[in-house]
Structure 1
Amino acid sequence: MFGFDQDMIFRIPALLIALTVHEYAHARAAVWLGDPTPRFEGRLTLNPIAHLDPIGLIMLWLFKFGWAKPVNINPGNFKNWRKGMIIVSFAGPGSNIIMAFISAIMIAVIGQMGLLTGWLAAILKLTYSYNIILAIFNLIPIPPLDGSKILSSLLPSRIAYQYDSLGQYGPFILMGLVYIGVIGAITYPLQLILSYIINQIVMVIV
């Protein structure tokens, strides 16, 4: 849990960047694959207002557990709906990994220039952390997270239907697992691994 501390104000821009990029990536991937729904609903934009759920943002700001406004898509518009769903679902977490990588490069470069101080350092480091967290968290195969949509697209139709029917209970299961610490126990090591990989690549580049 986050609680209140001196970095509270810096979390806002970091969250806006991470959430907006995540949802925009879903929208962009869907449109690229032939589904105009996100464009019609005004989601093909980097304007944070189009993607934010106020309550979800506050929850994520305070407790590291929250949500943005889901991007509606119509898989029937994809040439191959299974492949399309996998690509669109992974686009969100994938974009967060890219943003974490970009943030890490900026931290390294600006740090070498001796300018990584104050509010800039706080925002960049939080942007890096939030993108790592969102990337891993959203790949958990529990509805309505992106990982569940990827898994469902890989399963045989009959099993996928039964799996998807659990979606109505997914948010409650997820919140329960977060509360008792199971999600954190699973995701934290994966966050460390992803962070290590990104930092090793950045060290080679920078």
Structure 2
Amino acid sequence: MTTATSRHSERRISPVFLGILAVTAVTGWATWTGFAEQPGVAVFLFVTAAWIVSLCLHEYAHARTALHSGDISVGAKGYLTLNPLKYTHALLSIVLPVIFVIMGGIGLPGGAVFIERGRIQGRWRHSLISAAGPLTNVLFAVVCTAPFWLDALDGVPTDFRFALAFLALLQVTAALLNFLPVPGLDGYGVIEPWLSYGVRRQVEPFAPFGLLFVFALLWLPAVNGVFFDVIDTILKSLGISDVETYCGQELYRFWQGSNEFCSAAP
């Protein structure tokens, strides 16, 4: 009985996550209805809360896949409760991604849940555990862009449309960055089980610096331009225009004041 109760509590959705979900719903409603006196504030809270929800689901996907692959320790660590405070690196998983959204409009791939890899047998399982997180971002992006590629925008308020477009931008950038085969990112985790022991051992010391390396490259104008060209191409294929993502980001940065171009946009 005690064991069953313990396992149930390990998988009970955290009130912290439910609170974030509630903020997402309320601010989404405020953005849709125009209830907020300053629409940008509602958009900021809606996108930020929804982004944190996606980060929680990203980490949950890693943990849940690990659980079904043999690592039963993830429950005791609180990873299955969707509580962001339970993650091994709350700073990397939640705080830094939110800061990067505010500063640069980039979906920072965070980390991490600690998976006891020794409990897991089979290279495919290891690869799937690593892929589960960014695949969640892909799914989130598909959901956010559904009104666009389904041509179902009739009646959708402009501010809400812009907010969805910006949120989709964050999900696509997060998925793309996460899938890069760079040590320390999920993309490398997908291919790592298939590398020789010697290669893995040589690469391992560089893993803590992989994310820094990626963002250092993104500071280079040429690399940054190519990266966002790819992002724009993906978003356009999903029915989202440059104007919509731009205005979504402008609304999000409400402290910069209103943008006349976006205010006049249809």
Cα shift readout 1:23-42 (whole Å, capped 9, x = no counterpart): 11111111121212322211
* Corresponding letter in the other structure for 2:129: V
User: In structure 1, which of residues 31, 40, 60 is the aligned counterpart of residue 76 of structure 2?
Assistant: 40
Where do 1:128-139 residues align within 5 Å? 128-139=168-179
CA–CA distance in structure 2, aligned partners of residues 182 and 49 of structure 1: 37
**Structural RMSD (CA):** 3.0
* Corresponding letter in the other structure for 2:57: V
How has the CA–CA distance of structure 1 residues 183 and 5 changed in structure 2, closer, same or farther, with 3 Å as cutoff? farther
Q: Does 2:140 align with 1:99?
A: yes
Cα shift readout 1:21-75 (whole Å, capped 9, x = no counterpart): 2111111111121212322211113344545432442233322264534111011
Q: Does 2:24 align with 1:24?
A: no
Where do 1:1-206 residues align within 5 Å? 8-51=44-87, 52-63=93-104, 64=106, 66-80=108-122, 82-107=123-148, 111-114=152-155, 116-117=156-157, 119-181=159-221, 184-199=224-239
Aligned length: 195
CA–CA distance in structure 2, aligned partners of residues 86 and 141 of structure 1: 12
Q: TM-score, normalised by structure 2?
A: 0.62
**Structure 2 stretches of 5 or more lacking a match?**
1-39, 88-92, 240-266
Contact 2:179/2:188 (CA < 8 Å) preserved in 1? yes
Contact 2:55/2:94 (CA < 8 Å) preserved in 1? no
Contact 1:18/1:96 (CA < 8 Å) preserved in 2? yes
Q: TM-score, normalised by structure 1?
A: 0.77
* Larger-gyration structure (1/2): 2
* Corresponding letter in the other structure for 2:59: E
The 3-state SS of whatever aligns with 2:144 is helix
Identity %: 22
> Please, which moves more after superposition, 89-98 or 18-27?
18-27
How has the CA–CA distance of structure 1 residues 30 and 188 changed in structure 2, closer, same or farther, with 3 Å as cutoff? same
CA–CA distance in structure 2, aligned partners of residues 183 and 71 of structure 1: 30
